[in-house]
Amino acid sequence: MKDESAFYDTNVLIAYLFREENRFRIAQKVLRRHASKAISIITVHEIHTYSIRFNVEEKFIKAKELLHKLFKIVPLNQDICLKASYIRKNYRLPEIDSLILASALHGKYKHFYTFDEDFRELNDKIIEETRIHYLEHHYQR
């Protein structure tokens, strides 16, 4: 699978960067699986917010440079926003989730990884060219 592209939801990076119990190893595994990796600009903002909440903003500032080197960071544009509206209506996903998934679809990434329960019903489904991987079922709480 190393040659296929992947897009990661914020919670996968948070699980990895903050070494969340139960999720860290799964996040590490899926992050290593693909050579071509991308995240939404929303993810950068969400990780920053998370780092402020847990008083590790200095670590985020250092990690931010690394994020730009390891991932293509996809900005929002009009096409992504329109696609997100369609996704929200047809798949009943919250707005931010719709924007992040729309970014993956717009970029034609082959895989989308998430721990977000809002994607449970979409696990292993292919939307356009992108297969959804809901990772929560990989570990017991």
Q: Examine the pLDDT at 41 and tell me if it is beyond 50.
A: yes
Predicted local distance difference test score (pLDDT) of residue 140: 42
Taking only the tens place, the pLDDT of each residue in 69-103 is 899 999 999 999 999 999 999 999 999 999 999 99
Cα→Cα distances 89→92, 102, 104, 111, 133, Å: 5, 12, 17, 22, 20
Closest CA to 40 of 109, 118, 99: 99
Instruction: Provide the residue ranges of all domains of the chain, joining segments of one domain with +.
Output: 5-74+107-136
72 alpha-carbon distance from chain centroid: 12
Provide mean pLDDT across the span 24-32: 95
CATH value of 5-74+107-136 in 3.60.10.10, 3.90.25.10, 3.40.50.1010, 3.40.50.620: 3.40.50.1010
Predicted local distance difference test score (pLDDT) of residue 58: 80
Q: Are 82 and 104 in contact (CB under 8 A)?
A: no
Instruction: Give me the long-range contacts of 25-33 (CB less than 8 A, separation at least 24).
Output: 26/115, 26/135, 26/138, 26/139, 27/115, 27/135, 30/6, 30/113, 30/133, 30/135, 33/1, 33/2, 33/6
Predicted local distance difference test score (pLDDT) of residue 137: 64
